[in-house]
Amino acid sequence: MHESCGVFGVYAPGEDVARLTFFALFALQHRGQESAGIATTDGKKLLVYARMGLVSQVFSEDSLGQLKGSIAIGHNRYSTRGSSRVSNAQPLLVGKGSNTIAIAHNGNIINAEHLYQELSDQGYNFHTGADTEVIANLILSSPEKDWVNKIRYAMHRLQGAYSLTLMTNNSLFGVRDPFGVRPLCLGTVNGGRVIASESCALDHIGASFIREIEPGEIVSISENGIDSYREEGGRRALCIFEYIYFARPDSVINGRLLYPARQAMGEGLAQEHAVDADMVMGVPDSAIAAGIGYSRWSNISLCEGLLKNRYVGRTFIEPDQRIRDLGVKLKFNPLPQMLDGQRVVVVDDSIVRGTTTPSVVKLLKRAGAREIHMRICAPPIRYPCFFGVDMATRWELIAAQKTIPEIRDFIGADSLGYLSIDGLVKAVALPKDIFCMACFTGDYPIPVQLEMGKLALETAMSADYQGPFGIKQR
């Protein structure tokens, strides 16, 4: 499962803003590894440098040195809309002359196609396949005079998830959709201001956290200081997967550090799904903290059974078929001496399609584990996401197609336990109604998603599509 990008922005006259952005993007690399980019402005013109690859592969001293200015925005991309190619790499520069903006987007616009058609009919040109360009052109198409009201105009038309950093020749903006689906926070560095997807990016560049940017809020930063405008929203819908998996465990969202929240998920699993076992392990890296929590509550000793090849990441070098066939072996190496004859509780963050978990179970059993008891932090995922998480169609989601005992057999585990929705909410320790949990419940925050869900279902039905598990419909 992949999330769709990390964004950053800095307003700091006198600072090397491109370098600050580079190091912030490093800290946000987990949010997207396909492309990286930085845009800067010296007050007269906007410059951008964006390429395919990891932050460390994209930038050099030379490219950073050319990005001069006092304002910068940056972006790490995982594509959920628009293919993975360099023209879709962000930040995007959109517009002409003084009416140009640079924009970086985390999220997914649900009504992008409709808006694209409307803007094309008005004569707006599109050069990428990204919904981010729709946002930018919608802002530019506004009849309003100032940038804040232009952004507000766009916000009234956009449906979906968007946490944005946006820049003109002399101002930086941070924008968060009224549902607050993706996180966005505000900080300060050496008298300047920074905006980031996650607070971990602030820590790494020596910036201090000020506060979250609220759902529906526009923060505007310029030589006149900092201003805030708020579009009143209704329901909030922060993606619960930020706590389970997407965000880094050293980030703070809504005042809750993610690391103890993930430990509490493991404790909740131990309470809800106790089992006799010899050792507990979390699948690295995302379930390590939850594994510790399970061990702590159950008093079963914590061990490492799998080591992760952390640097395999994304690379431009395509694996050949023989390497591809190795599957999870390329990513994980088991420790047979630790696993031999053991009854192992394996804690993982989620099961989506169910394609990876059987390989992990097989790897551990081949390495000598006697029993594998899978414990999963996310409740069963039965509905697709329309908010920008590259998950699967409903027909590919294993929990939409199989019962829990059937999934247990499919993955080859001796037992399987998912954390309940109540257990998850208790672990996060925040009010349930601020979250989107639509992929567990089907309760989508906006009606259009419900329609998309129905449409996807009808399409699958009419095409007589049987899905990857060979089951027509439950």
The three-class DSSP label of residue 198 is coil
Indicate the burial class of 2 (C-beta count within 10 angstroms; 0-12, 13-18, 19 or more).
middle
State which of residues 389, 399, 419, 425 lies at the interface with ligand SF4 (CB under 6 A).
389
SS (H, E, C) 400-438: HHCCHHHHHHHHCCCEEEECCHHHHHHHHCCCHHHEECH
Residue 196 near residue 202, CB atoms below 8 Å: yes
Give the binding range for ligand SF4 (CB under 6 A) out of 86-94, 127-135, 239-247, 452-460.
239-247
Residue 84 near residue 124, CB atoms below 8 Å: no
Nearer to ligand SF4, 173 or 243 (CB): 243
Percent of the chain as helix, strand, coil, to the nearest 5: 35, 25, 40
Residue 385 found at the interface with ligand SF4 (CB under 6 A): yes
Work out how close the CB of 387 gets to ligand SF4 at its nearest, in angstroms, rounded to a whole number.
4
Residue 181 found at the interface with ligand SF4 (CB under 6 A): yes
Cα(474)–Cα(470) distance, rounded to whole angstroms?
11
Residue 438 found at the interface with ligand SF4 (CB under 6 A): yes
Give the binding range for ligand SF4 (CB under 6 A) out of 110-118, 164-172, 397-405, 435-443.
435-443
Residue 439 found at the interface with ligand SF4 (CB under 6 A): yes
Cα(89)–Cα(33) distance, rounded to whole angstroms?
11
- For residue 443, the Cα-to-chain-centroid distance in whole angstroms is 20
Phi-psi label, residue 286: left if phi above 0, alpha if psi -120 to 50, beta otherwise? alpha
Cα(257)–Cα(356) distance, rounded to whole angstroms?
28
State which of residues 173, 241, 245, 395 lies at the interface with ligand SF4 (CB under 6 A).
241
Give the binding range for ligand SF4 (CB under 6 A) out of 27-35, 162-170, 381-389, 408-416.
381-389
Residue 437 found at the interface with ligand SF4 (CB under 6 A): yes
Residue 360 found at the interface with ligand SF4 (CB under 6 A): no
State which of residues 240, 265, 300, 427 lies at the interface with ligand SF4 (CB under 6 A).
240
Nearer to ligand SF4, 124 or 387 (CB): 387
Residue 239 found at the interface with ligand SF4 (CB under 6 A): yes
Residue 376 found at the interface with ligand SF4 (CB under 6 A): no
Annotated catalytic residue 239: no
Binding residues with ligand SF4: total (CB under 6 A):
11
The three-class DSSP label of residue 244 is helix
Work out how close the CB of 219 gets to ligand SF4 at its nearest, in angstroms, rounded to a whole number.
23
Site for ligand SF4, rule CB under 6 A:
181, 239-241, 385, 387, 389, 436-439
